Amino acid sequence: METERVGIPLLGEKFPDMTVKTTHGILELPKHFAGKWFVLFSHPGDFTPVCTTEFVSFAKKNNEFRKLGSELIGLSIDQVFSHIKWVEWIKENLKTEIPFPVIADDMGNVSKKLGMIHPGKGTNTVRAVFIVDPNGFLRLMVYYPQEIGRNMDEILRALKALQVSDANKVAMPANWPKNELIGDQVIVPPASDVKTAEMRKNQKEYKCYDWWLCYKKLPENRR
């Protein structure tokens, strides 16, 4: 009998099926977001300073995530009643509506399955980010310590980079779309045989520093 693996998942694996209790009711993941990208992010606890600033930032960026065909969903091990009260507090005191659901993982089952409870941090979840594609595959994950708040612009950048990479079968340079060498251009996959490597030196479709480092401009409608 196959046993379920518990711990940090691997990139490229299917996001595990789970039924979760949230501030928007019971949801089935990843089924609830089928056909869409989604970003699941965990926070250590409700009514804490850094987490509160993050929730406000995610809420203010929510429309930008939706423009990329993605949805946000939060998580911590607090009970749903705590989530509801905290969301109300943010709305009343910080004038910010939290538009996305928040998972109440009070039994810790989801956090354990996704490797979000790390040794030395008690029962709190670390600040994890999971980007899942429309087919339910885990495409990116990042873990932050409790003391460091996340950069939502970087999460948006990574999401868009994944989408452009998938659509065009290219790789994305560092700091894309503001790379120091090639700007907003993208990297062509390296040649995998001698013939292609030789052709790369003379073709006009790409620009190359060498046969293994070629890049090109994408049309506006493919970015």
pLDDT at 203: 79
Domain ranges of the chain: 18-150, 169-222
Crossing angle (nearest 10°) for helices 49-67 and 152-168: 30
Q: In what order do the strands lie in the sheet with 186-188?
A: 186-188, 213-216, 207-210
pLDDT at 192: 86
Would residue 208 show up in a list of annotated catalytic residues for this protein?
Answer: no
Q: Which fold has domain 18-150?
A: Glutaredoxin (3.40.30)
Strands 207-210 and 213-216: antiparallel
CA distance 203 to 201: 6
**Given 39, 51, 72, 114, the catalytic residue:** 51
- Mean pLDDT in runs of 10 for the chain (223 residues)? 63 95 97 97 95 98 98 96 98 98 91 80 80 98 91 98 97 97 95 85 84 90 66
Q: Are 144 and 35 in contact (CB under 8 A)?
A: no
CA distance 65 to 37: 9
Q: 19: which residues sit within 8 A by CB, 6+ positions away?
A: 26, 27, 28, 29
pLDDT at 191: 85
Q: How many CB atoms are located within 10 Å of the residue 161 CB?
A: 17
Strands 102-104 and 127-132: unpaired
CATH number belonging to the domain at 169-222, selected among 3.40.50.970, 3.40.605.10, 3.30.1180.10, 3.30.1020.10: 3.30.1020.10
